[in-house]
Structure 1
């Protein structure tokens, strides 16, 4: 429980705040309780959608210096709560409506329905950007020529082989997928989709390139800190990509930006707590296939986001599908551990 104390404290104050926000807009106790309930639902959805994010965060965090690990869990938390859950939606409306961020905030506070309509109108581009970035994250993992442990060998050995023979094959595959999907979209949507998808892909290449450039070269502490700084940047963009679909999708549940920020932020705090627990308990070492399950879940989430123009899948279904894969990988890891113990 020590890992989740801060999350429960934040949850308490967050739910109290959501009640008063609901009461302010609705004017009744029922409206306040309704807002509190919505905040709980959003928090659960955020946790289910981002559970695999916690695992990937733990994969990277264990390689970072204590200083940069602490910065991610503090500065990164502020960015996750206020940057992605408040500023990001405001910037979308600022860009679409050609207004100032302050005007967008006033619109969110006084005209939530109009604000939500503008937010939802950007869902195609947001899904394409986040989906292509996450797709690159998954492909990079499975096409890594240094990957030697396989959970499902029949699916994983061939990508590793191709990754060792074909340079940047994951970029090629991502471009092919974007091209195929955009081909079936109406012309006025295809260009927006392919441009946003390309932006997500380019963002991944840039962030990955910066991380490689900052990699430790001779083991000196200065270089280790530089490498950790690159990992910090990678994790922040990764967190943002996980948040995109959840933030926009939350407007299908409520049009109140402040309830959305509270609910999703509660979920983000629990994801951070899970990340710390995974690192300190060395869960990825004890459960060999948990990491594999997380990257399979990321691949599923990426394809769901990219296929959203044709088939919108509710966020709770997305969360359950990713969670189911991770649970299976966890159980399979236990089975492998028992086999090793028996041997």
Structure 2
């Protein structure tokens, strides 16, 4: 008689798949439990009521989901760059890089904005965040225009640089990407396009905002070009010292600035849900850990090579996000639209990749 307790091949495969996913997301789950527990404790200490505690707990959860939805494309782009980095630099990015992402962008960055905008000291900014969260949120909201302009131009250069590549031979939306690839031989065409968009959006700004938008957007463009040049110099120096080394310090710096640009929208948008800096840091920090886990999984499982259009979807999402950040200087666009839009583009790209694999016997 057959033993009914014997697992089938299908159940073995499902168990192995679940174990594999758990291995990648183990630390993210641990941070989620600790972060939500800390959020509940913070809620109890600040409100002293069960309702207030549950509210803070819920806000932390929503912020984590918001960060994950906004950062699907960030994880894919990180994996795209990481696969060409040396193992040593991969480990550095996935350890030191995540510390910079969580503590630098989710805590230090909002404090730094208030320090500069309000012309106060760092400790005064911390006190302001704890004692007067409404005033803190107001200062952050006023700083939204230059942040959106800077982040929008930087991300636009990231997206355009992927498509304006004369060596790129895999095209998803062929009627667009074929023309772009042929135009890639024109030097500086991406910079020209971004500058034209900067000029166009700056002219649409209200009086007094035109110079602020233009200056911040140009600095975003300059930052991208500086990181590219510096990265090339640093990595070429490493290659001269260590033959075969690829994607070293320059790639690390590029990924850190890229992560910062992705974080701008989430950090500013988070103040619509909570004015408490520490609640925001907990929620977005949890989300950042899932982005790290997704990045590791994409690199180790070779997902980008298995699904040929996944990168395309991510870079289209980046271009869409950059345009949304520019548009946010004129109108309010809910973060849920930004997150769902990017996730939708990646989902369509994944579906197209699956269809292509089936049609070509992969």
Query: The TM-score by the shorter chain falls in which range?
Result: over 0.9
Query: Which of 264, 268, 283 lines up with 2:288 in the alignment?
Result: 268
CA contact (8 A) 1:68 1:225 kept: no
The number of equivalent residue pairs is 341
**Matching residue of 2:231:** 211
Contact 1:214 1:227 (C-alpha < 8 Å) held by counterparts: no
Q: In structure 2, how many angstroms separate the alpha carbons of the residues matched to 1:215 and 1:106?
A: 41
Q: Does 1:92 align with 2:117?
A: no
Task: Please report how far the alpha carbon of residue 9 of structure 1 lies from its aligned counterpart in structure 2 after TM superposition.
Answer: 0.3
CA 5–227 in structure 1, closer or farther in 2 if over 3 Å, else same: closer
Which one of the candidate residues 26, 32, 36 is aligned to 2:53?
32
1:185 and 2:231 aligned: no
Worse-matched range after superposition: 122-131 or 310-319:
310-319
2: distance between equivalents of 1:217 and 1:16? 46
Match of 1:131 among 140, 152, 158: 152
Provide the C-alpha distance between the structure 2 equivalents of 1:309 and 1:204, rounded to a whole number of angstroms: 20
* Structure 1 residues 218 and 107: CA distance shift in structure 2, 3 A: closer
From the superposition, tell whether residues 219 and 251 of structure 1 become closer, same or farther in structure 2 (CA, over 3 Å). Answer: closer
Tell me the C-alpha RMSD between the 2 structures. 1.4
What is the CA deviation profile of residues 128-185 of structure 1, one whole-angstrom value per residue up to 9, with x for unaligned ones? 1111100000011111111111001101111111111x11110010000000001011
Q: Which runs of 5+ in 1 are unaligned?
A: none
2: CA distance, partners of 1:188 / 1:223: 52
Moved more, 74-83 or 23-32: 23-32
Spell out the pairing of 1:149-298 with structure 2 (5 A cutoff).
149-164=170-185, 166-216=186-236, 222=242, 225=245, 227-298=247-318
Deviation (angstroms), 1:216: 4.5
Deviation of the 1:311 alpha carbon: 2.4
Give 1:217 deviation, angstroms: 7.8
Asked if the contact 2:148/2:265 (under 8 Å) is kept, the reply is: yes
2: CA distance, partners of 1:46 / 1:55: 14
Aligned-partner Cα distance in 1 for 2:44–2:144? 29
When normalised by structure 1's length, the TM-score is 0.97
- Structure 2 distance, partners of 1:99, 1:224, is 48
Comparing 310-319 with 268-277, greater Cα deviation is found at 310-319
Q: Could you tell which deviates more after superposition, 24-33 or 135-144? A: 24-33
Provide the TM-score with structure 2 as the length reference. Answer: 0.92
Q: How far apart, in 1, do the equivalents of 2:32 and 2:144 lie?
A: 28
Corresponding position of 1:315: 335
Which whole-Å deviations, capped at 9, do the CAs of 1:293-333 have from their partners, x for residues lacking one? Answer: 00000000000001112222111111001100000100100
Shift of 1:214: 3.0
Larger radius of gyration: 2
The question of whether the paired residues in 1 share the 8 Å contact of 2:307 and 2:353 is answered with yes
Cα separation, 1, equivalents of 2:215 and 2:58: 37
Label 1:221 to 1:60 Cα distance change in 2 as closer, same or farther (>3 A).
Answer: farther
Structure 2 stretches of 5 or more lacking a match? 1-21
